[in-house]
Structure 1
Amino acid sequence: MKWHHVQDNWSAFFEAITDKWPEVDTADLDEIDGDQRAFISYLAEVTGHEIGDVREELREWLRGEIPADVIMDPIHDNHSITLSSKYVNEGEDEYNDDAHFGDDGKD
């Protein structure tokens, strides 16, 4: 993902940010409002890490996928479904509706 994904959906990323950096406070994140420099400085302050180390942590975090609950649009959803197909057993359809979960063997 790119920083603009985070910045454009800042409050939606709060849960993912607090999962990665449990030291952060959502009230402080609200004030940062997606400003990357302010976020890096804040992370350095609350984690006690050097700015360079925080930048590298952030780069590594940004290499991950956008959390599915952050952006809900057909392109992103279809991409996520396609990526998840590696966890679907052979013969199963990753696009199939799971409303009747557990109905394997039924038409």
Structure 2
Amino acid sequence: MKWHHIEENWASFYEAITDRWPEADPADLDEIDGDQRAFLRYIAELTEQEPIDAREEVLEWLRGELPSDVVMDPAHDNRSIMLSGKYIPEGEDESDDDARFGDDEEEE
């Protein structure tokens, strides 16, 4: 992932952030609003690590796959969708229809 994807789609990353750092507070994330330096400081405080160690942890997280619903790019949509499976609740498939978008009740 690139930070500009995160910054531009900050709220979309809350779930990925809280998956990685369960103790992260969405209200605190609202205040950070995509600011990379503020996020690094926040993770350092949250995990009670030295800033350099927190930075390494965030860099490791950034090496993960960009969730497919954040930035759709036809060149890698299918790969992104398959790799985003780790963000989908157990029992669902990354290719399943999503009722939030209203496509589950369409008649063919």
> TM-score scaled by structure 2?
0.69
In 1, the alpha carbon distance for the partners of 2:79 and 2:29 equals 29
Q: Secondary structure at the match of 1:34?
A: coil
Aligned residue number for residue 102 of structure 2: none
Check conservation: 2:67, 2:80, Cα contact below 8 A: no
Question: Are the structure 2 counterparts of residues 10 and 98 from structure 1 closer, same or farther at C-alpha, using a change threshold of 3 Å?
Answer: closer
**Match of 1:29?**
29
Percent of aligned positions that are identical: 66
Alpha-carbon spacing, 1:70–1:98, altered in 2? closer, same or farther (3 Å)? closer
**Aligned residue in 1 for 2:54:** 54
Q: Tell me which residue corresponds to 1:94.
A: none
When the two chains are superposed, the root-mean-square deviation of aligned CA atoms in Å is 2.3
Alignment-derived partner of residue 70 in structure 1 = 70
Encode CA deviations 1:7-26: one digit per residue, 9 max, x unaligned: 11100000000000111100
Instruction: From the CA coordinates, give the structure whose radius of gyration is larger.
Output: 1
CA deviation after TM superposition for structure 1 residue 79, in Å: 4.0
Secondary structure class of the residue paired with 1:74: coil
Q: Deviations over 1:42-77 (max 9, x none)?
A: 111111111011100011111111012323443442
Q: How many residues align?
A: 86
- Label 1:98 to 1:28 Cα distance change in 2 as closer, same or farther (>3 A): closer
Q: Which amino acid aligns with 2:25?
A: D
How far, CA to CA, are the matches of 2:53 and 2:20 in structure 1? 14
Question: Distance between the aligned counterparts of 1:3 and 1:49, measured in 2?
Answer: 21
